Amino acid sequence: MVIMTTTSSLTFLPVLERIAEEVSRTPGRGRPADYIPALAARDPRSFGMAVAELDGTVYGVGEWRQPFSTQSVTKVFTLALDLAREGDELWEHVGREPSGNPFNSLVQLEYENGIPRNPFINAGALVVTDRLQTRTGDAAGELLAFLRAESGNPALDFDKEVAASETAHGARNAALAHFMASYGNIDNDVPVLLDQYFRQCSIAASCADLALATGFLARHGIRADGSRLLTRSEAKQVNAVMLTCGTYDAAGDFAYRVGLPGKSGVGGGIIAVVPGRCTLCVWSPGLDERGNSVAGVAALDRFTTLTGLSVF
């Protein structure tokens, strides 16, 4: 059954309610990210989903206003903030290709002279954060201010427990940063960069917050206040990289099942964009072996199936 939507937000609510009911009956919801101790205790059966329309109307189901650890979801916003400042020069330091390897892999960096495959694996996100840090002096603070403004929630903040947990278990990210620095692809001192990166990943936000904050990508680069962050072409670039690289080495399967630009995080969140129409965020902490929310991917799959909304 396909439920075709109109411009009224009311028509999305039955879809979200149906998805939440189906998800509640689904066994095998995956496991939380246990390599970050602060995330390991999260209940894998938690679930929330929100949709935000272009005018800022937002609504949802389940725990859609419950803050969670955004983790790699924030890489989209850091990418947009840096791309807005330096444009195409950024792509000389990070690629736009799927990696085909785990998100924290070091393997390809040596073969490719310290240039990460894309901005959404950890190595690429470190490069983007480094470049934003050079341009702003406080990459994490710049990101937080942006998310507060776009979500309309001034209470958004860093989770100090999560940041400390990641710092204590961040040897692999430190290795990535030092390795890229040896190729001249990192400008700032590695300890400074790692602090910025871990703070960035620790931001806690809800599905409602993130659906609203992602709206500029559905509005082709226009922020919530009507100002332009990205050109239409740059917004297309970000959406394209989300589609091809946003769910680690499961991006092909995500595109096949969901058919939307999306970005996941190991906190269990996934954001997705329907250009020109709406943005979504779904959260459930149970992950599959590739680091994506099991219930989150399933929910987005059902959303595009039930509504017929897809980029394809």
User: What is d(CA 59, CA 64) in angstroms, rounded to the nearest whole number?
Assistant: 8
Catalytic residue among 151, 197, 284, 294: 197
Among the listed residues 15, 69, 75, 128, the single catalytic one is: 75
Angle between helices 190-202 and 171-182 (to 10 degrees): 130
DSSP at 49: E
Of 94, 86, 226, the closest CA to residue 149 belongs to 226
Contact call for residues 296 and 13 (beta carbons, < 8 A): no
Which residue blocks in 137-270 are alpha helix, DSSP H?
139-151, 160-168, 171-182, 190-202, 207-213, 215-218, 232-245, 251-257
Question: Of residues 46, 69, 72, 105, which has the active-site annotation?
Answer: 72
Is there a catalytic annotation at residue 72? yes
Task: Give the SS3 label for residue 262.
Answer: strand
Residue 197 is a catalytic residue: yes
Q: What sign for the dihedral angle of Cα 186, 135, 263, 311?
A: negative
Separation between Cα atoms, residue 104 and residue 23, nearest integer Å: 29
CA-wise closest residue to 230 among 93, 125, 134, 87: 87
Tokens of 97: 């290709």
Could you say which of 23, 58, 266, 282 is catalytic? Answer: 266
Q: Find out whether 12 and 303 touch, Cβ atoms under 8 Å.
A: no
| Annotated catalytic residue, options 46, 162, 248, 284 | 248
**Alpha-carbon distance 92 to 63, whole Å?**
40
Question: How much is the CA Rg of the chain, to the nearest whole Å?
Answer: 18
Catalytically active residues, by annotation: 72, 75, 197, 248, 266
